[in-house]
Every structure is written in structure tokens, then in C-alpha cells.
């Protein structure tokens, strides 16, 4: 679909930006990617998201839409001719939104320190434990939502798949950093298969960053967060 009035402000390494990219890919929407420079914020970003000043921002017909999950929902509602992203049943939709909120509000804040390499000792152990407990809950959610199919969304990638799957690159980097698997066969067997399917999907493959590239970027971030404040 020729949609030159669609722009995405983002950065290749941001899991939140990847959410928007996957949703656009699912709907076959072409767009202009406006890459932010690491460490600074463009005038367009500040104008488009003055409240949070964060990426991603989707600009559609010159109007900005902020917050990745809201962007994914917007894309689903505007481009209805493509495959649907949110479940059609209101209850299933509510459940998918509940778990997406859990991922962003509870799970992600408890693990972000790990990816940034900011935690040591007991704090690090506690974050690893929280991340693992979160995955066990998400495994249970997967079993219920997928009803024996390959994705949270059933036969194909849906809202909750995008909400969690966008973190898979960073999860792999974190696993390397801490020297253990957090999505593992023993505790989360269904999520192991789901993660493989998700990353191999055509809507995801092209936008999911390479692990080696992310590792390099993670080292940069870690150096930045460990540096004493000026
Ligand atoms: N809740 C936001 C989170 C977005 C977010 O944290 N973006 C990061 C990049 S991964 C960002 O822009 N950080 C810049 C900053 O915090 O100033 C969403 O879902 O869009």
C-alpha cells in the first residue's frame, strides 16, 4: 500500500519502536523511518511527543500518535483491510490488553536494570528472579490465550505477541550477559517454541535487530549508565 503520509520516529534498537514496525509490516504499510540519533532528541520528536519525549512516534497524515501499544492499536483500527492484530472478541481483547499492561508496567521495569548492566549482587539476583517469575506467568497466559495454537493471538501474530516479542532481542542479550537462559525448556517450554516461531515470522525477521549488533549497542549503553554523573 502506498502510504507516503506515514512516518515513524524511532531507533532500530528500541523494543517499543519494533512494536510499531511489526504492526506496520503486518498491515503492509510503507512508511518513512526517521531514525533518532542516540543520546539526543530531534526537534520533530520533541514537538511530536512533548509529554514523554520518547520514541516511537507514528506520524499519520501529519498527526502524531505516541506510546507503542497505542500506536499498534491505532494501526490495527486504521488499516482494517490487512490482517487483524487485536483479538476480535471483547473478552480476549481485554485479556490481551491486561497482559500487555503487565509486561510494560510490572515485568519490564523489573528487568531493565539487567539489560543496562546497572545491577550487582542481591539486586541483580532479585531482578533475574523477577524476570523468571514473570516468564512463568506469561507461559501460563500463553497456554490460555493460544488455545493450543502457535501464538498468543492464535494462528498468527497478534497484539500480545507483539507486546512481548519485541523484547526477544534484548532478552537474548540479557541471557548472554547473565549466563543463563530465562526462557528455558524446563520452566517455559511453550514460550521457547513461541519465541522461535515469532522471530522466524516474515513480519518480524526484517525488523528484529541482530543479536551481535544489539550486544554492541548494549555495551555502549552500559558504559553510559555506569559512567559517574557529570
Ligand atoms: N511507554 C513507552 C516507552 C517508550 C520508551 O521508553 N522509549 C525509549 C527508547 S526504548 C525512549 O525514547 N527513551 C528516551 C528517554 O527515556 O528519554 C512506549 O511504549 O512507547
The alpha carbons of the chain give a radius of gyration, in whole angstroms, of: 18
One domain for residues 168 and 100: yes
One domain for residues 70 and 98: no
One domain for residues 102 and 160: yes
Percentage of the residues of the chain whose pLDDT score is greater than 90: 84
Q: What is the DSSP string of 142-188?
A: HHHHHTTSSBTTBSS--HHHHHHHTTHHHHHHHHHHHTS-SS-TTT-
Quick one: average pLDDT of 158-187? 94
One domain for residues 134 and 163: yes
One domain for residues 96 and 210: yes
One domain for residues 26 and 126: no
- Measured CA to CA, the distance from residue 3 to residue 175 in angstroms comes to 38
List the CATH number of the domain containing 207: 1.20.1050.10
One domain for residues 51 and 97: no
Atom of ligand 1 nearest to the CA of 15: 10
One domain for residues 46 and 21: yes
Task: Give the residue whose CA is nearest to atom 16 of ligand 1.
Answer: 54
**pLDDT over 80 at 226, yes or no:** no
Model confidence at 2, in pLDDT bands (50, 70, 90)? Answer: very low
Distance 20 CA to ligand 1 centre (A): 13
Q: Which of 54, 97, 115, 217 to mutate to test the pocket of ligand 1 (most atoms within 8 A of CB)?
A: 54
Task: Give the residue whose CA is nearest to atom 17 of ligand 1.
Answer: 54
Q: Which of 11, 12, 48, 55 to mutate to test the pocket of ligand 1 (most atoms within 8 A of CB)?
A: 55
What is the value of pTM for the model shown?
0.95
pLDDT tens-digit profile of 38-70? 889 999 999 999 999 999 999 999 999 999 999
One domain for residues 56 and 103: no
Q: Specify which residues 7 forms β-bridges with.
A: 32, 59
One domain for residues 107 and 202: yes
Percentage of the residues of the chain whose pLDDT score is greater than 70: 97
pLDDT tens-digit profile of 6-27? 999 999 999 999 999 999 999 9
Q: List residues near ligand 1 (CB under 6 A).
A: 14, 16, 53-56, 67-69
One domain for residues 117 and 164: yes
C-alpha cell at 106: 510490572
How many domains does one find in the chain?
2
Q: For residues 79-105, b (16+ Cβ closer than 10 Å) or e, as one string?
A: beebeebbbeeeebeebbbebbebbee
Domain enclosing residue 184, as ranges: 90-214
Distance 15 CA to ligand 1 centre (A): 9
- Measured CA to CA, the distance from residue 196 to residue 141 in angstroms comes to 18
Domain annotation covers residue 225 = no
One domain for residues 113 and 203: yes
List the CATH number of the domain containing 71: 3.40.30.10
Domain annotation covers residue 223 = no
Amino acid at each position: 500500500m502506498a502510504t507516503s503520509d506515514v512516518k515513524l520516529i524511532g531507533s532500530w534498537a528500541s523494543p517499543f519502536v519494533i512494536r510499531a514496525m511489526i504492526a506496520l509490516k503486518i498491515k503492509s504499510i510503507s512508511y518513512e523511518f526517521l531514525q533518532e540519533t542516540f543520546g539526543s532528541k530531534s526537534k520533530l520528536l520533541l514537538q511530536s511527543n512533548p509529554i514523554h519525549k520518547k520514541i516511537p512516534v507514528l506520524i499519520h497524515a501529519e498527526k502524531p500518535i505516541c506510546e507503542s501499544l497505542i500506536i499498534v492499536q491505532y494501526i490495527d483500527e486504521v488499516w482494517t483491510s490487512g490482517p487483524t492484530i487485536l483479538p476480535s472478541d471483547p473478552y480476549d481483547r481485554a485479556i490481551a490488553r491486561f497482559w500487555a499492561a503487565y509486561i510494560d508496567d510490572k515485568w519490564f521495569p523489573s528487568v531493565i536494570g539487567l539489560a543496562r548492566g546497572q545491577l550487582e549482587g542481591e539486586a541483580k539476583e532479585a531482578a533475574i528472579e523477577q524476570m523468571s517469575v514473570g516468564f512463568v506467568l506469561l507461559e501460563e497466559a500463553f497456554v490460555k490465550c493460544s488455545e493450543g495454537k502457535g501464538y498468543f493471538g492464535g494462528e498468527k501474530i497478534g497484539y500480545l505477541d507483539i507486546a512481548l516479542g519485541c523484547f526477544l532481542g534484548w532478552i537474548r542479550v540479557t541471557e548472554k550477559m547473565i549466563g543463563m537462559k530465562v526462557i528455558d525448556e524446563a520452566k517455559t517450554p511453550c514460550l521457547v517454541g513461541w519465541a522461535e516461531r515469532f522471530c522466524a515470522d516474515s513480519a518480524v525477521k526484517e525488523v528484529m535487530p541482530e543479536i551481535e549488533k544489539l550486544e554492541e549497542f548494549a555495551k555502549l549503553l552500559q558504559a553510559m549508565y555506569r559512567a559517574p554523573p557529570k
